[in-house]
A and B are shown apart, each in its own frame.
Chain A
Amino acid sequence: MSPLVSLPLAAAVNLADLLRVDLNSYLYLSALLFAIGFFGVLLRKNTLAIYMCLELMLVAATVALVAFSRYNGTMDGNVFVFFILTVAAAEVAVGLAIIVALFRRRQTIQVEELNALKN
């Protein structure tokens, strides 16, 4: 059997495995959330919406860290998430201040109109 045919078959067999919750389930969920957030970053035209999607990507990564930490019985992943939360709070504060300053100057936050650096 060629590899191209065997791949979907293997996926169908693994469907029962997919429903059993273990470390892999959390990693799949984390990757899926990251992909959705990335999609939002590319799709949206509103700077604030893009920023919210960036936050979603950050949180998706923390799910993977906590899951690894729990299933390996170590603390380091949890402590990393602690730091990520702190840095994310600082980042949101600065980013939103920049967006407000941008709006004051340009009266818009739609990305297609923020083309001062183009050409």
Chain B
Amino acid sequence: MSDTLFHFFSVLTVACALGLVLNKNAVASALCLLVCLTGIAGLFVLLDAFLLAVLTVFVYAGAVVALFLFIIMLLDMQGGDRKPFTKASIIAGAAAVGLLCTGLYSFIVRGHIDSPALADTPAVGSSLRAYAELLFTTYLLPVQIVGFLLLIAMLGVIVISKKFEGLEDIK
């Protein structure tokens, strides 16, 4: 059952990722990203990381994609009659992805990692208590730093998006 679900979610995720990349319409791309992230949240559930699945849906699918959609709406960026891709970028992208896929292929053929059976390993990520214990003991300093990072990012966004009246004359 869980194997079938894995295949379902992985096909969904990869198809939506391709839709995100190849769609000319920015809104459709953002919606593809939304479905892709939901599929990844499903994969997290299969991996017994329930908190991360919920956080992915809240933070990514909720906040980030909504922010993207807002910006797309604000900027009204239909590129006119310009092509979304050029021939040079298609060639460069295909070459780079070819290299990555060659790496993936050789990884599949040769680099098989011995994976322990899921039943043998405890699903430590499923309990909220495990997160709390690590976040407030071992990772206490990173938690504080990340808090400051969020504060700095918020201040930065305000400064960047504010119009400074005096500076307009200098330009």
Contacts and interface: CB of A to CB of B under 8 A. Distances in A.
A67 B116 CA distance: 12
A29 B13 contact: yes
A1 to B, nearest CB: 14
Given A63-B40, A76-B134, A42 B89 contact: yes
Interface residues of A, number: 77
B64 A92 contact: yes
Interface in B38-61: 40, 43-44, 47-49, 51-52, 55-56, 59-60
A27 B124 CA distance: 20
Task: Point out which of B21, B44, B82, B121 has the most chain A C-beta atoms below 10 A from its C-beta.
Answer: B21
Contacts of A88: 59-60, 64
Contacts of B40: 59, 62-63
19 contacts: A10-B109, A24-B115, A26-B43, A29-B10, A33-B17, A36-B17, A36-B21, A39-B93, A46-B79, A48-B26, A49-B26, A56-B36, A69-B125, A78-B130, A83-B142, A86-B150, A89-B59, A89-B63, A101-B161
Interface of A: 7, 10-11, 14, 17-29, 31-40, 42-46, 48-49, 51-53, 55-56, 59, 62-63, 66-67, 69-76, 78-79, 81-83, 85-94, 96-101, 103, 109-110, 112
Given A55-B60, A81-B52, 10 more contacts: A27-B113, A31-B100, A35-B101, A36-B97, A38-B96, A42-B93, A52-B20, A88-B60, A90-B153, A94-B157
